[in-house]
Amino acid sequence: MTEAQDIYIQLESVSKAYRVAGQTLPIFSGLDLAIPKGDFVAVMGPSGSGKSTLLNMLAGIDRPDAGRVRIGTHSLDQMGEAARGSWRAHHMGIVFQFYNLLPMLNAAENVELPLLLKPLSARERRVRVERVLDLVGLAGRERQYPGMMSGGQQQRVGIARAIVADPGLLLCDEPTGDLDRASADDILEMLQTLNQVLGKTILMVTHDPQAARCAKRTLHLDKGVFVEEARAAE
């Protein structure tokens, strides 16, 4: 296997700018990034450095002005919105800072949402939901609604929803940003397990240095440029 084939996420000369009040605000200008399959990367940086824009482009919910965004064999920048949506449903899970659970659905129904897009029977969906809820430590809480759960529990539901369709890539946007230290440590341990045991490729945006230490390597983004890379001690 060549080095090029090992690369799972690749950004090539990506540029992005926003127009705000008639002014052009550049975010990236020729940004490059390569992440191999099975890696766990934390991206840190000050507010406005472009972390969220990077995550949005990798998720296919925002597009670069120039350059290429390639994940696996797919070039997201070449796909239409519908194709990117379908690609997300099958290959990617997203964990949000504020969980983003639907309040009128219980834990099991929230987790089941991505499976509605797959050709699975009700029984197959139920089995998968039970399995991932068990995996994140929420067995027995299937019928609880988000409003009845702590932040940590809601984030576990969010992670279960992100992995229930068995995607290869997890994008995490400040997954511990709204949690106390103990809950945050639980979530980070879970992400490490998903990476090390299940082989998920994880890219996590965070402000929390302790969270970043759980990743295999940490990239520092400042003013749209990766300025530093740190690898975790083996």
What does the alpha-carbon distance between residue 224 and residue 222 come to, in Å, rounded to a whole number?
A: 5
Beta bridge partners of 222: 225
Q: Which residues are CB-contacts of 104 (< 8 A; sequence separation ≥ 6)?
A: 145
Considering only residues 62, 166, 185, 222, which one is a binding residue for other proteins as defined by CB under 8 A?
62
Query: What own/partner pairs with CB < 8 Å and gap ≥ 24 does 181-184 have?
Result: 182/152, 183/150, 183/151, 183/152, 183/155, 184/152, 184/208, 184/210, 184/211
Q: Which is nearer to other proteins, 27 or 212 (CB)?
A: 27
Binding positions for other proteins, 139-168, rule CB under 8 A: 161
Q: Considering only residues 120-139, where is the footprint of other proteins by CB under 8 A?
A: 122, 125
- Residue 51, interface with other proteins (CB under 8 A)? no
Minimum CB distance to other proteins, residue 125 (Å): 8
Q: What is the dihedral of CA 223, 224, 227, 231, to 10 degrees?
A: 130
Select the span of 28-36, 109-117, 132-140, 204-212 touching other proteins (CB under 8 A). Answer: 109-117
Interface with other proteins by CB under 8 A: which range of 53-61, 132-140, 202-210, 225-233?
53-61
CB of 82 to other proteins, least distance (A): 6
Q: Which range binds other proteins by CB under 8 A, 6-14, 30-38, 105-113, 208-216?
A: 105-113
Q: Is 104 in the site for other proteins (CB under 8 A)?
A: yes
Q: How far is CA 187 from CA 83, 135, 156, 191, 194, in A?
A: 31, 12, 7, 6, 11
Rounded-to-integer distance, Cα 225 and Cα 11, Å: 12
Q: Is 85 in the site for other proteins (CB under 8 A)?
A: yes
Binding site for other proteins (CB under 8 A): 56, 59, 61-62, 81-82, 85-90, 94, 96, 98, 100, 102-105, 109, 112-114, 116-117, 122, 125, 161
